[in-house]
Structure 1
Amino acid sequence: MTHTVTFWFDSVCPFCWQTSRWIKEVEKVREIQVEWVPMSLAVLNDGRDLPADYLAGMEAAWGPARVAAAIKQDYPEKVGEYYDALGTKIHTEGNGAKTGHGAYGELISAALDEIGLPVSLAEVAESTEADDALRGYHASAIEAVGDDVGTPVIKLGDTAFFGPVITRVPEGEEAGELFDAAVRLAAYPYFFELKRSRTEAPQV
């Protein structure tokens, strides 16, 4: 049986990155079909009264998400590759937590070049031309799961959840078993959430 997974992501979120790497492991051991869709922490927090340092991080987050939205519109088959390439540069290679407009510009350009897309797409990061599309993709995540969430949002079949939030990435059959458990919970229409306090940051 092939499971359909919709994965809404923000490239700059370290927790989202860990969950996405789990899904990549699941692809090796289960029959799944994944659609990668951008969402945006910058959109989620737009207009909120937040600490200045967090807002500076949200300024930086617009760029990667805008480019993801433009790719989803024009090169939908490349969205996952863009996330893989940019996320590796941000998280695995230790270039995250940037602040201010344009902070991820060089990484975006490098990621586009790596996956064979026009580097000129990086210009979208500092314009508003993809904002309507980005807000639409983001809204589709919120519509699926509700508004008390962050990233990632994952839809398993007909049911969407925020998370799972993991700090370490299971591999092999363990990844598959975690996926099986998530699918089973999603199949029960009256299940809503599990939560506990985190005791560590993502271990990339």
Structure 2
Amino acid sequence: MATTATVDFWFDPACPYTWLTSRWVVEAATVRPLDVRWRVMSLAVLNEGRDDDPEGDPEGYLWVPVRICAAVLRQYGQEGLGAFYAALWADRGDGGAKQWMNDPGAALADAGLPPELAEAGSRGDYDGAVRASHAEAIALLGPHVGTPIVAAPDPGGDADARIAFFGPVLS
């Protein structure tokens, strides 16, 4: 029987390419012995201090969904965060191509979580947790990356070694 490997998946919840990659890793976990551990990172944190704003976020909107994710993780754990992230990008039956995430309050409700958790998005209560998780991801590959970052155990057998990569997996 194969040993289950834990795959850490750092994501910014507002990134559509990261969403596509998350579906790839979820699908991989259906055919391989993988346990996905959801971790937050933030494009807002990544782009702090840059002269340009590649995300076009001068108002700081990107903080909202990642703060909510950090609140969900702290209060409802991995299962809650995975359910919220899935609901955030779920097709709500409007027939159009999915271009952007759903309303966080509606996604919380769809995930069976209290919609009031959406209030965390407008406060800095979870910024320290977001920054710490983000720093852990960046430490694996360096500062010139983005979202997502995926880390898995080294298949060579070294129990302490991990292989990490950055970038969306689109197919």
Normalised-by-shorter TM-score class:
0.7 to 0.9
1:160 pairs with 2:169: no
Distance 1:17 1:52, change over 3 A: closer
TM-score, length-scaled by structure 1:
0.70
TM-score, length-scaled by structure 2:
0.83
Give the equivalent residue in structure 1 for 2:9.
7
Work out the CA distance in 2 between the residues paired with 1:113 and 1:139. Answer: 30
Q: Please report the RMSD computed on the Cα atoms of aligned residues, expressed in angstroms.
A: 2.2
Distance 1:53 1:19, change over 3 A: closer
User: Counting helix residues as a fraction of each chain, which structure ranks higher?
Assistant: 1
Question: What letter is aligned with 1:25?
Answer: E
Question: What are the superposed Cα offsets for residues 127-177 of structure 1, whole Å, 9 maximum, x if unpaired?
Answer: 1111111111111111222211100000011222113x3333xxxxxxxxx
* Equivalent residue runs for 1:51-200 within 5 Å: 51=53, 54-56=56-58, 59-76=60-77, 77-88=79-90, 94-96=98-100, 107-157=103-153, 158-163=162-167, 165-168=168-171
Work out the CA distance in 1 between the residues paired with 2:37 and 2:5. Answer: 11
Work out the CA distance in 1 between the residues paired with 2:41 and 2:55. Answer: 21
Work out the CA distance in 2 between the residues paired with 1:118 and 1:148. Answer: 36
Question: What letter is aligned with 1:18?
Answer: L
Identity across aligned pairs (percent)?
A: 41
Would you say the 8 A contact 1:12–1:87 is kept in 2?
no
Q: SS of the counterpart of 2:138?
A: helix
Distance 1:109 1:89, change over 3 A: farther
Question: What letter is aligned with 1:166?
Answer: V
Would you say the 8 A contact 2:149–2:165 is kept in 1?
yes
User: Unpaired segments of 5 or more residues in structure 2?
Assistant: 154-161
- What's the offset of the Cα at 1:18? 1.2
Between the two proteins, the alignment pairs up a number of residues equal to 157
Question: What letter is aligned with 1:126?
Answer: S
Would you say the 8 A contact 1:38–1:69 is kept in 2?
yes
- What's the offset of the Cα at 1:89? 5.5
Tell me which stretches of 4 or more aligned residues in structure 1 moved more than 6 Å.
none
- What's the offset of the Cα at 1:95? 4.8
